[in-house]
Amino acid sequence: MLYDQELLARYLKKYEGAEVMLTLRKHDPDKSMAQRGYYFAAIVRDAAEHFGWEPEDMHDYLKEECNKKELVNSKTGEIYTVAGSTVPLKKMDMMAFIDRSIRRLAEMGYVVHTPEEYFAAISYKGTEIVA
C-alpha cells in the first residue's frame, strides 16, 4: 500500500470530533473523464474565448508552454524542445500539467475557475460562471 501517513493524519485532523466516512478504492492511474472535461472546457475553451483564440490553438499553446518534451538528434546530439502530447499522460501527470497550465494563464492575466466552481456551475442548467 502506498500512501503518505503524515498527509493523511493532517487531513483527518480537520475532521477531529466529527463523524466521517472514509472510502478506500484501488488507485486508477489513468486520467479521469472529469480531468479531461475540466481541462478542455474550463481551461482550454474558456481561456481561448477570453483571448479570442481557437480552442485548438490554446491547447497547442499550453502543450508547448506547459508540457515540453525534449528530442535529441542521435547524430549530432542537438536537443530540440517540442510540445508533448497529453494523450499518454496518467492521472498524476495530467494533474501536474493542468496546474502548470493554470499558472501560465495566470501569468498572462487570466484566472481559471477552480474545478469546484466549474462543476458547481454546470450542475445547474443555465447557470453561468461569473468572475
- Give dist(CA 117, CA 45) in Å, integer: 15
Query: Side-chain half-sphere of 87: how many Cα atoms within 13 Å?
Result: 2
Q: How many helices (H) and strands (E) does the chain have?
A: 6, 2
- Give dist(CA 87, CA 94) in Å, integer: 9
Q: How confident is the model at residue 74 (pLDDT cuts 50, 70, 90)?
A: very high
pLDDT in tens, 1-35: 456 788 778 888 888 998 888 777 666 678 888 89
Helix locations, 20-114, DSSP H: 33-37, 46-51, 55-66, 91-107
Domain ranges of the chain: 29-123
